[in-house]
Copies of this chain bind each other. A is one copy, B any other.
Amino acid sequence: MREKTTYQRVSLEEVFSPRGVAVVGASGSGRMGFPEGVLMGLVEAGCPAVYPVNPKYREIMGLPCYPTLESIPGPVDYVVVSIPATGVMTLLEDCAGKGVKAVQFFTAGFSESGIAQRADLEREMLAKARASGFRIIGPNCVGLFVPKSGLVNISGVSFEPGPVAFISQSGGHANNIVQFSDFRGIRFSKVVSYGNGLDVDEIEMLEYFKDDPETKIIAAYIEGIKDGRRFKEALEAAAAVKPVIIYKGGRTEAGQRAAFGHTASMTSSIAVFEALCRQANVIQVNDIDELIDVLVLLSFADPLPQGTGMAMIGAGGGPSVLAGDVMEKHSLCLPALSNAIQNELKKVLPVDGSIFTNPLDTPNMSTPKAISSAMTIMGKIPEIHTLFYHMGFHPISRWGINRFMADNYGEQLAQALVEAKASSGKPILLALRPPGDLGGMEEFLDVQKAAVDAKIPVFYDLDRLALAVSRVAAWRKNKMAWMKPGT
């Protein structure tokens, strides 16, 4: 059980907006490890004050380097620690002396090592933090990505703040979600990797993000929970006001064994966890890609899918057959087109080579304008709630869609889809199959970028698109039923 706190803790709000950040354990040797990457990110993101700390160097990456925390001239509210576990208690003394507000340990080798003395050391660290009035993030984590404050742990990505909060017990997933969401347009309020969760844990963060005005969507990667009752309360409260998506790692016996070695998590019964999520109307996903897909849909579909009826427009019989199979697999449907609708479609699409069913198979050379008109026509069918266009890119760029593309095809298509959204009042999505090789990659990225810039949700295959729509539609339906009891 978590101890009750009786003193005034430093709030997460304070943790997330430091005046100065020190990085202890960075090296000036030119080696590019975790602490050096953090330094680079902090500088790029415009952190107010960045201080490398290492007695061996006078300068690291062009920044003056300090021998100790104490020797830093300005205030230091946040400390990133990447030194061996054996040295951490001495460092925590220094942190207390400097009056810091939070200490983040990249350092691993604590309770998750399975060694009793290391679990004892963790308890000692927590006691020190409580006594000195600062917070601990981790240990065994990559810490924070709070672009608004310039407090980041990664470089080379967009530092534009956004509506998504992500809580992650895995540092790898915390970094990956930022990188792999970047070109899909997802932007974050705060990403927190919390590792072993010694002090700041998933419960406190759910409580915080529920009320955080910057955060509109809450996502989490969780391996284990320490206090089921309080977790349930926090999850229900958060999910009542914002969409919550959870990827639970360690669903199986083998996964659980790995989770213990990873973050010392004793994962609870997956059946209990799933039931808890269902009751709270939490969207459950099975990996980071699925999580990103749901975030794309929640961030950009406007409106959200109002039901399970889908319409697909694309080229090729194979993809049409696959679409039928995939939609049904994910409990979505492809409502049939009436003769009247088919006749309308024949006025805007080439009759030769098109098959006027749903999925609507029309040659690759159909113009974006024609696609937009077809979507507007199909969008009139009340049973169709979501429409999407499907394009496959090919590694041999003189094949497939690639060869029909004008120079500004991406922008033309994005513009056409935005028009279809306006005229149909329904969500318009884009399924883009990547070429898998360098050939065709440039065309693929051009179209993706134009669509993402225009806030059209992009998915990489039919299965992933259908899965995301199915999850969000089910979430929305439950939410509506909940908001209007008796309907």
Q: With a CB–CB cut-off of 8 A, which chain B residues contact A441?
A: 438, 441
A157, A180, A325: residue with the most chain B Cβ atoms closer than 10 Å: A325
- Determine how close the nearest CB of chain B comes to the CB of A72; give it in whole angstroms: 27
Within 8 A of B (CB), among A301-348: 316-325, 327-329, 333-334, 336
Q: Does A453 make an interface contact (CB < 8 A)? A: no
- Of chain B, the residue at the smallest CB distance from A263 is B317
Closest to A395 in B: B179
CA distance A286 to B324 in the complex (A): 12
CB atoms of B154 and A318 under 8 A apart: no
A262 and B32 form a contact (CB under 8 A):
no
> A147 to nearest B CB, angstroms?
15
Contact check, B328 vs A255: say whether CB atoms are below 8 A apart: yes
CB nearest to A223 among chain B residues: B321
Write out, one digit per residue, whether chain A residues 179-214 have a CB within 8 A of any chain B CB (1) or not (0). Answer: 110110000000000000000000000000000000
How close is A400's CB to chain B, nearest CB, in angstroms? 8
- Report how many residues on chain A are interfacial, defined by Cβ distance under 8 Å: 74
User: Which of chain B's residues have a CB closer than 8 A to the CB of A254?
Assistant: 323-325, 327-328, 333-334
- Nearest CB in chain B: distance from A332 CB, A: 9
- Chain B neighbourhood of A476, CB < 8 A: none
Evaluate contact between B324 and A252: CB separation under 8 angstroms. yes
A319–B256 Cα distance when bound, in Å, is 12
Q: Which of A129-137, A169-177, A230-238 contacts B (4 or more CB under 8 A)?
A: A169-177
Q: Indicate whether A182 sits within 8 Å of B328 (C-beta atoms), given known contacts A172-B319, A249-B318.
A: no
Q: Which of B37, B287, B325, B353 contacts A255 (CB 8 A)?
A: B325
Instruction: Give CA–CA (A334, B255) in the complex, Å.
Output: 10
Q: Does A58 contact B (CB under 8 A)?
A: no
A336: chain B residues at CB < 8 Å are 257
Q: Point out the residues of chain B lying under 8 angstroms from A154, CB to CB.
A: 396, 399
Q: Is A227 an interface residue (CB 8 A)?
A: no
A9 within 8 A of B: no
Are B316 and A109 in contact (CB-based, < 8 A)? no
B357 touches A258 (CB 8 A): yes
The answer to whether B261 touches A180 (Cβ under 8 A) is: no
**Complex: A287 Cα to B321 Cα, angstroms:** 10
Quick check: B156 and A399 within 8 Å, CB to CB? Answer: yes
Contacts of A399 in B (CB 8 A): 37, 154, 156, 175, 179
A143 at the binding interface (Cβ < 8 Å): no
Are A261 and B320 touching (Cβ within 8 A)? yes
Verify if A221 is at the interface (C-beta below 8 Å from B): yes
CA distance A288 to B392 in the complex (A): 13
Q: Which residue of B lies closest to A157 (CB)?
A: B396
In this complex, the member of A179, A223, A398 whose beta carbon has the largest number of chain B beta carbons within 10 angstroms is: A179
Compute how far the CA of A263 lies from the CA of B156 in the bound complex, rounded to whole angstroms.
Answer: 48
A252-B182 in contact (CB<8A)? no
A435-461 vs B, CB cutoff 8 Å, 1 = contact: the mask equals 011110100010000000000000000
Q: 1/0 per position for A224-253, CB-CB distance to B under 8 A?
A: 000000000000000000000000011111
CA–CA, A96 to B287, complex, Å?
A: 58
Q: Which of B171, B259, B398 is in CB contact (< 8 Å) with A321?
A: B259
Residues from chain B with Cβ under 8 Å of A383 in the complex: none
- Selected A-B contacts with CB under 8 Å, 18 pairs: A37-B398, A156-B398, A157-B396, A170-B317, A179-B395, A250-B325, A252-B325, A253-B324, A254-B323, A254-B333, A257-B324, A257-B336, A259-B324, A262-B318, A262-B320, A262-B355, A434-B436, A438-B445
